[in-house]
């Protein structure tokens, strides 16, 4: 089946399989490999992308559902080669280690800051509780989100 | 000497590619004509394969290969990524005619799509002749138990040692305490599962792009398992999504290579999360018996330890982990009389192997819990009891494995005492009364830990620096960046020593075709070992450049030095020429053209100890059994810190991993069938952001004389003492001794009830 959607500001017409997940579509058909796969069953958040500004686990989300919708992946976050505030804050605060969870975290945080430009620590934790990280202990990720929200 | 880069926080060299999603991990490499590999996993925990029929699977359109044990070389190999010779057993075949745990590999398929590969698995017919399932070491060691590996009696490894006369030591003691501790099966939970992509290049060489910590050892093991020489194999380690020891191992690459060799096609073999948690690797569960004799004054006289480690179906790093436990056992609290007995047992459960701290987490949980129990019986402050007995400055390791030439333990203890306000809290919490429903407690634990794999394994690192014509450089590393920041600190060293900017350095690590040999992300060794190799190579490089500059300025090299990217006259300090311009002039030179390529290697001659302590303040809800952490203090002596932000990051991650071990994480196996109950990230409880405690990190900076910049280990140590510190805080809060981890609410509640009801 054919769907039409906007991915990182670009209009796309894509031929997909009915059972295909958004994760598969983005990685395999559009080559957007910044979308990571940590579990494929909605447990880790590594595959987080934004659909209409809302974070979703793309591994559980059927590609067919994005017909007519707008999608943002990590590849679309930096504008004209310039890193977003969040991306920069992740670097400055040491919130990146292996980097496998990083795209998912940044997108979840991006959506969070859209909803709450000045989140409390508790709101950050709640907003990002669906993203797992085994390397950083989360401490510096919280600092990065705080830093980006203060700028 | 003042450093420009070393000792400073600099942004990671891979940070931009990681925050923009450009960083490529194995599964991000797509190849034309690529096939998808899938593994058929055993539904039973122990059986002989009587018959496999792959006919129907092979006939499925889109299936390109189906392989069983009959299609692979019958060469046993050791999956642990040790240097040669393997210090663990060679007990694994790429595929075998026997399965030894539920989830063991039975057959593999390569097909055009993942779906076809999955469908093909269902078409493989297997007849099993089931064998008795042995889940616990007790069962496996019982008289007449069926052998999981023939001729082993289910003993993967065994050793013992003693010094002094331990029985005489106990007899001379005023008080002897003997206890048993248990630790759970933990699993690494790297966010990226085990994954490899294999293909043949234009010369029919086997290329293996894989998520590994040990590229060179992996290449050697593959060359042995597949009977190919090393020239025929190229291993590429791209970005790795976490390792923690689970990827210091050759878990699935040889199997994938066979699929590629059979089909001639690229094959991506990617474990699902469920596969990862069963067919990946785990931390050994252990039963540890400790017996200690002390004087009335609290001085330890004698100590014995017996450990049974459950290594599961295959050795992996197997008994090497118990060797490591043994080597650390005698040095933390040196006593005149001690004895150690360790055994690693094969059972029909998932394979236990290397995991961050290589057995020290298990040892430390037992030892540090035991220390608190002892202090309690002696009516001593547990911190004072440790001060009295722990290794002191200048004191030698009685077994001679480790050196103690930079000692920060006493200062770590002092710092933790002060930061946590230990004395006041010990008094006030105790005085708060027994009747409160929520009880507060404070506890601590400490450790000493190795830096390298020496002398358990053959240690070596190497590095190559090649200056580009314009004075930028390429650094070739055999050491493995797996998230910890390896490439960044190595680049810092090159910038420091050669006199170019950090942004001038491109790191290539690891491609076995171009990088030099290194044993990889093993122990906590890379900054210490490879850091020294990089420093030596960088100094060589600088000397060559200075040498050339001396010719340009008609002087001798001894008159020149490099400062902030400039070659200067030593005496006057005058800037003569930049390093970069010198390199340029050397390459484009009519009279004396030359290149600057420097290689250096470093072999360990000693293994320095790092030290640290964790202090924990908790609140225990006696109604629910839940342990809340109020605050943790994590203090480390890792010698000189080379990059403070990266160092702190190691501590943050390690502490949370240790907290999981103490409170929530355990892989649960059905004692009858060997089935893993919680093979997913919902039921296996690793910490989320909601679970993180308040954490204060501090470093006690000693200077290790054998480190490139006074540095020693830090990668693994932060996970070590967290669980026992929490456990000891719970003891302080409740008066109940929990000698088994993790302290889940169920376990805590049950034992508190028992304590009340007697
Ligand atoms: S891959 Fe989607 S939540 Fe883990
Ligand atoms: S940085 Fe490795 S999982 Fe988060």
pLDDT digits (tens, 9 = 90+) for B274-286: 999 999 999 999 9
Q: What is the band of B406 on the pLDDT scale with cuts at 50, 70, 90?
A: very high
Give, for B220, the enclosing helix (H) or strand (E).
helix B215-225
CA distance B329 to B399: 10
Ligand nearest to the CA of B481: 2
**Residue B156 within any structural domain of the chain:** no
Closest chain A C-alpha to B45 CA, distance in angstroms:
24
Q: Per-residue pLDDT for B343 more than 80?
A: yes
Say what percent of chain B tops pLDDT 70.
Answer: 99
**Residue B625 within any structural domain of the chain:** yes
C-alpha distances in Å from residue B12, one per residue of A94, A132, B698, B710, B747: 8, 21, 21, 21, 42
Q: Which residue has the tokens 């004389």?
A: B705
Is A146 close to ligand 2, i.e. is its CB under 6 Å away?
Answer: no
Residue count of chain A: 151
- Tokens for B591? 């009279």
Beta-carbon-side half-sphere exposure of residue B98 (alpha carbons within 13 Å): 16
- What confidence score (pLDDT) does residue B88 get? 87
Please choose, from the candidates A30, A3, A36, the residue with its C-alpha nearest in 3D space to the C-alpha of residue B23: A36
**Span B571-597, average pLDDT:** 97
- CATH number of the domain encompassing residue B365: 3.30.365.10
Is A24 close to ligand 1, i.e. is its CB under 6 Å away?
Answer: no
First to last CA, chain A: 44
Q: Per-residue pLDDT for B452 more than 90?
A: yes
Q: What is the band of B758 on the pLDDT scale with cuts at 50, 70, 90?
A: low
Q: Take atom 3 of ligand 2 and give the residue whose Cα is closest.
A: A133
Q: Collapse the DSSP code of B490 into the 3-class scheme (helix H, G, I; strand E, B; otherwise coil) and give the result.
A: helix
Considering the domain architecture, whether residues B262 and B308 belong to the same structural domain is answered as: no
- What confidence score (pLDDT) does residue B654 get? 98
Beta bridge partners, B617, equal B442, B631
Considering the domain architecture, whether residues B292 and B269 belong to the same structural domain is answered as: no
Is A56 close to ligand 2, i.e. is its CB under 6 Å away?
Answer: no
Considering the domain architecture, whether residues B435 and B305 belong to the same structural domain is answered as: yes
Ligand nearest to the CA of B241: 2
Question: What are the two backbone dihedrals, phi and then psi, of residue B359, each rounded to the nearest 5 degrees?
Answer: 95, -20
DSSP, res A28: I
Q: Collapse the DSSP code of B129 into the 3-class scheme (helix H, G, I; strand E, B; otherwise coil) and give the result.
A: strand
Size of the A and B interface in Cβ pairs below 8 Å: 165
Q: Are A106 and B19 in contact (CB < 8 Å)?
A: yes
Q: Per-residue pLDDT for B633 more than 90?
A: yes
Please choose, from the candidates B421, B383, B364, B407, the residue with its C-alpha nearest in 3D space to the C-alpha of residue B721: B364
Q: Which of chain B's residues have a Cβ under 8 Å away from the Cβ of A132?
A: 189, 191, 681, 686, 688
Considering the domain architecture, whether residues B316 and B366 belong to the same structural domain is answered as: yes
- CATH number of the domain encompassing residue B197: 3.90.1170.50
Q: Which of chain B's residues have a Cβ under 8 Å away from the Cβ of A130?
A: 688
Q: Are A140 and B652 in contact (CB < 8 Å)?
A: yes
Q: Which of chain B's residues have a Cβ under 8 Å away from the Cβ of A38?
A: 191-193, 241, 273
DSSP, res B77: B
**Residue B185 within any structural domain of the chain:** no
C-alpha distances in Å from residue B323, one per residue of B23, B218, B414: 37, 22, 31
Considering the domain architecture, whether residues B599 and B612 belong to the same structural domain is answered as: no
What Rg value do the Cα atoms of chain B yield, rounded?
27
Q: Which residue has the tokens 């060179």?
A: B216
**Residue B138 within any structural domain of the chain:** no
Q: Per-residue pLDDT for B376 more than 90?
A: yes
Give, for B564, the enclosing helix (H) or strand (E).
none
Please choose, from the candidates B510, B24, B33, B35, the residue with its C-alpha nearest in 3D space to the C-alpha of residue B269: B35
Query: Rounded to the nearest 10 degrees, what angle do helices B644-663 and A139-150 cross at?
Result: 130
Is A22 close to ligand 1, i.e. is its CB under 6 Å away?
Answer: no
Q: Are B191 and A83 in contact (CB < 8 Å)?
A: no
Closest chain B C-alpha to A100 CA, distance in angstroms:
5
The set of residues, in sequence order, having a beta carbon less than 8 Å from that of A120 and lying 6+ positions away, is none
Given the DSSP bridges, would you call strands B461-467 and B597-602 parallel, antiparallel or unpaired? Answer: antiparallel
**Residue B714 within any structural domain of the chain:** yes
- Which domain-ending residue is among B229, B258, B279? B279
Is A55 close to ligand 1, i.e. is its CB under 6 Å away?
Answer: no
- Tokens for B44? 């039973």
Summarize pLDDT for B455-496 with one digit per residue, the tens: 889 999 999 999 999 999 999 999 999 999 999 999 999 999
Please give the residue of chain B at the shortest CA–CA distance from A49.
B21
pTM exceeds 0.90: yes
Q: B35: CA distance to ligand 2 center in Å?
A: 28
Considering the domain architecture, whether residues B288 and B259 belong to the same structural domain is answered as: no
Structural domain including B51 reads 31-131+191-242+247-279
Is A43 close to ligand 1, i.e. is its CB under 6 Å away?
Answer: yes
Considering the domain architecture, whether residues B434 and B294 belong to the same structural domain is answered as: yes
Q: What is the band of B225 on the pLDDT scale with cuts at 50, 70, 90?
A: very high
- Which domain-ending residue is among B603, B632, B659? B603
CA distance B190 to B114: 22
Considering the domain architecture, whether residues B360 and B505 belong to the same structural domain is answered as: no
- Tokens for B50? 């009587």
**Residue B139 within any structural domain of the chain:** no
Q: What is the dihedral of CA B685, B690, B696, B701, to 10 degrees?
A: 50
Question: What are the two backbone dihedrals, phi and then psi, of residue B647, each rounded to the nearest 5 degrees?
Answer: -65, -45
Q: Is A44 on the interface with B (CB under 8 A)?
A: yes
**Span B560-568, average pLDDT:** 96
Which residues in chain A (100-129) have CB-CB distances under 8 A to chain B?
A: 100-103, 106, 124-126, 128-129
Of residues B11, B18, B27, nearest to A37 (C-beta): B27
CA distance A16 to A108: 26
Q: B190: CA distance to ligand 1 center in Å?
A: 13
Beta-carbon-side half-sphere exposure of residue A102 (alpha carbons within 13 Å): 40
Q: Which of chain A's residues have a Cβ under 8 Å away from the Cβ of B680?
A: 39, 41, 43
Give, for B66, the enclosing helix (H) or strand (E).
strand B63-67
Which domains are assigned to chain A? 2-76 (3.10.20.30), 85-150 (1.10.150.120)
**Residue B371 within any structural domain of the chain:** yes
Question: What are the two backbone dihedrals, phi and then psi, of residue A60, each rounded to the nearest 5 degrees?
Answer: -105, -5
Count how many domains chain B has: 3
- Which domain-ending residue is among B279, B303, B336? B279
Q: Could you tell me if A27 and A38 are in contact, meaning their C-beta atoms sit under 8 angstroms apart?
A: no
Mean pLDDT of chain A: 97
Considering the domain architecture, whether residues B496 and B549 belong to the same structural domain is answered as: yes
Is A83 close to ligand 2, i.e. is its CB under 6 Å away?
Answer: no
Summarize pLDDT for B712-742 with one digit per residue, the tens: 999 999 999 999 999 999 999 999 999 999 9
Of residues A46, A73, A83, nearest to B191 (C-beta): A46
**Residue B143 within any structural domain of the chain:** no
CA distance B336 to B355: 31
Q: Could you tell me if B509 and B515 are in contact, meaning their C-beta atoms sit under 8 angstroms apart?
A: yes
Summarize pLDDT for A29-63 with one digit per residue, the tens: 999 999 999 999 999 999 999 999 999 999 999 99
Q: What is the band of B434 on the pLDDT scale with cuts at 50, 70, 90?
A: low
Chain Cα centroid distance, residue B161? 25
- Tokens for B306? 């017996």
DSSP characters over B578-602: EHHHHHHHHHS-SSS----EEEEEE
Beta bridge partners, B599, equal B464
Please give the residue of chain A at the shortest CA–CA distance from B23.
A34
Give, for B191, the enclosing helix (H) or strand (E).
none
Q: From start to end of B120-167, where are the E strands?
A: 125-130, 155-163
Summarize pLDDT for B120-162 with one digit per residue, the tens: 999 999 999 999 999 999 999 999 999 999 999 999 999 999 9
Considering the domain architecture, whether residues B345 and B437 belong to the same structural domain is answered as: yes
C-alpha distances in Å from residue B82, one per residue of B86, B460, B521, B678: 6, 12, 11, 30
Considering the domain architecture, whether residues B367 and B346 belong to the same structural domain is answered as: yes
Q: What is the dihedral of CA B321, B323, B328, B330, to 10 degrees?
A: 150
CA distance B724 to B444: 7
Is A97 close to ligand 2, i.e. is its CB under 6 Å away?
Answer: yes
Q: Is A72 on the interface with B (CB under 8 A)?
A: no
Q: From start to end of B450-585, where are the E strands?
A: 461-467, 473-477, 505-508, 560-563, 566-569, 575-578
Mean pLDDT of chain B: 97
Q: What angle do CA B542, B547, B552 make, to 5 degrees?
A: 125
Is A133 close to ligand 1, i.e. is its CB under 6 Å away?
Answer: no
Q: Are A39 and B652 in contact (CB < 8 Å)?
A: no
Of residues A36, A100, A138, nearest to B689 (C-beta): A138
Is A46 close to ligand 1, i.e. is its CB under 6 Å away?
Answer: yes
Ligand nearest to the CA of A24: 1
Considering the domain architecture, whether residues B265 and B220 belong to the same structural domain is answered as: yes
CA distance B510 to B169: 51
Q: Which of chain B's residues have a Cβ under 8 Å away from the Cβ of A106?
A: 19
CA distance B467 to A136: 34
Please choose, from the candidates A42, A125, A32, the residue with its C-alpha nearest in 3D space to the C-alpha of residue B687: A125
């Amino acid at each position: 089946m054919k769907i039409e959607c906007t991915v990182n500001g670009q209009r796309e017409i894509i031929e997909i399989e009915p059972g295909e997940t958004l994760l598969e579509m983005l990685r395999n058909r559009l080559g957007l490999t910044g979308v990571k796969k940590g579990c494929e069953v909605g447990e880790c958040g590594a595959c987080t992308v934004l659909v209409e500004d809302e974070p979703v686990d793309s591994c559980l989300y059927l590609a067919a559902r994005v017909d007519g919708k707008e999608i943002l992946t990590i590849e679309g976050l930096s504008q004209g080669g310039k890193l977003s505030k969040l991306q920069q804050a992740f670097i400055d605060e040491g919130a990146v280690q292996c980097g496998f969870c990083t795209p998912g975290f940044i997108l979840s945080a991006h959506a969070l800051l859209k909803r709450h430009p000045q989140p409390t620590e508790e709101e950050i934790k709640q907003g990002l509780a669906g993203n797992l990280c085994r390397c950083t202990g989360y401490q510096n990720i919280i600092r990065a989100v705080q830093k980006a929200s203060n700028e | 000497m003042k450093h420009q880069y070393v000792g400073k926080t600099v942004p990671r060299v891979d940070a931009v590619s990681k925050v923009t999603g450009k960083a490529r991990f194995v599964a991000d490499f797509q190849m034309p004509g690529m096939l998808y590999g899938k593994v058929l996993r055993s539904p039973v925990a122990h059986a002989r394969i009587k018959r496999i029929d792959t006919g129907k699977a092979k006939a499925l359109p889109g299936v390109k290969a189906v392989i069983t044990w009959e299609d692979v070389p019958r060469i046993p190999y050791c999956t642990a990524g040790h240097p040669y010779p393997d210090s663990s057993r060679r007990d694994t075949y790429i595929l075998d005619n026997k399965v030894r745990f539920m989830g063991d590999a039975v057959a593999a398929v390569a097909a055009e799509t993942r779906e076809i590969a999955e469908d093909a698995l269902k078409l493989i017919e297997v007849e099993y002749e089931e064998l008795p399932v042995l889940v616990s070491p007790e069962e496996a060691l019982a008289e007449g138990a069926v052998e999981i590996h023939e001729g082993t009696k289910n003993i993967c490894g065994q050793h013992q040692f003693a010094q002094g006369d331990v029985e005489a030591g106990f007899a001379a003691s005023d008080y002897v305490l003997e206890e048993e501790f248990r630790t759970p099966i933990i699993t690494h939970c790297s966010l990226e599962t085990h994954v490899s992509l294999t293909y043949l290049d234009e010369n029919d060489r086997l290329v293996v792009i894989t998520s590994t910590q040990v590229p060179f050892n992996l290449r050697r093991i593959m060359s042995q398992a597949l009977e190919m020489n090393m020239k025929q194999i190229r291993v590429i380690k791209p970005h790795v999504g976490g390792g923690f020891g689970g990827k210091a191992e050759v878990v699935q690459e040889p199997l994938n290579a066979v699929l590629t060799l059979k089909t001639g096609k690229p094959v991506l073999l990617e474990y699902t999360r469920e596969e990862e948690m069963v067919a990946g690797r785990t931390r050994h569960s252990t039963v540890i018996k400790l017996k200690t004799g002390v004087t009335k004054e609290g001085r330890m006289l004698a100590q014995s330890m017996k450990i049974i480690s459950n290594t599961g179906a295959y050795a992996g790093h197997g008994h090497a982990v118990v060797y490591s436990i043994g080597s650390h056992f005698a040095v933390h609290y040196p006593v005149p009389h001690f004895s150690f007995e360790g055994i690693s047992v094969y059972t029909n459960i998932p394979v236990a192997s290397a995991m961050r701290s290589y057995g020290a987490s298990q040892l430390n949980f037992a030892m540090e819990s035991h220390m608190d129990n002892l202090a309690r019986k002696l009516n001593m402050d547990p911190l004072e009891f440790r001060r009295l007995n722990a290794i002191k400055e200048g004191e030698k390791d009685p077994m001679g494995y480790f050196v103690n030439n930079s000692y920060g333990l006493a200062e770590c203890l002092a710092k933790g005492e002060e930061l946590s306000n230990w004395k006041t809290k010990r008094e006030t919490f105790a005085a708060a009364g027994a009747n409160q429903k929520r009880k507060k407690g404070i506890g601590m634990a400490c450790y000493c830990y190795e830096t390298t794999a020496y002398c358990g394994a053959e240690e070596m690192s190497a590095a190559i620096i090649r200056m580009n014509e314009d004075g930028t450089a390429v650094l070739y590393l055999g050491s493995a960046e797996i998230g910890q920041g390896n490439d960044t600190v190595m680049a810092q060293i090159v910038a420091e020593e050669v006199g170019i900017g950090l942004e001038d350095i491109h790191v290539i690590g690891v491609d076995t075709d171009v990088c030099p040999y290194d044993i990889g992300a093993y122990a906590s060794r890379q900054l210490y070992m490879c850091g020294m190799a990089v420093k030596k190579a960088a100094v060589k490089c600088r000397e060559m450049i200075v040498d050339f500059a001396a010719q340009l300025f008609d002087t001798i090299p001894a008159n020149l030095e490099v400062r902030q990217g400039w070659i200067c006259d030593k005496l006057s300090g005058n800037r003569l020429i930049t390093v970069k311009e010198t390199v340029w002039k050397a390459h484009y030179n009519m009279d004396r053209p030359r290149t600057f390529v420097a290689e250096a290697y470093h072999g360990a001659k000693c293994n320095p100890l790092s030290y640290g302590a964790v202090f924990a303040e908790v609140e225990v809800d006696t109604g629910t059994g839940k342990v809340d952490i109020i605050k943790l203090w994590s203090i480390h002596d890792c010698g000189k810190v080379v990059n403070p932000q990266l160092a702190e990051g190691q501590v943050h991650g390690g502490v949370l991993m240790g907290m999981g071990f103490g409170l929530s994480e355990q892989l649960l196996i059905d004692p009858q069938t060997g089935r893993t109950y919680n093979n997913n990230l919902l039921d296996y409880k690793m910490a989320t952001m909601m679970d993180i405690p308040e954490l204060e990190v501090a470093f006690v900076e000693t200077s290790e004389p054998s480190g490139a910049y006074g540095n020693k280990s830090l990668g693994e140590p932060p996970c070590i003492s967290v669980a026992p510190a929490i456990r000891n805080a719970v003891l302080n809060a409740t008066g109940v001794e929990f000698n088994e981890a993790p302290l889940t609410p169920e376990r805590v509640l049950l034992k508190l009830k028992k304590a009340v009801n007697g």
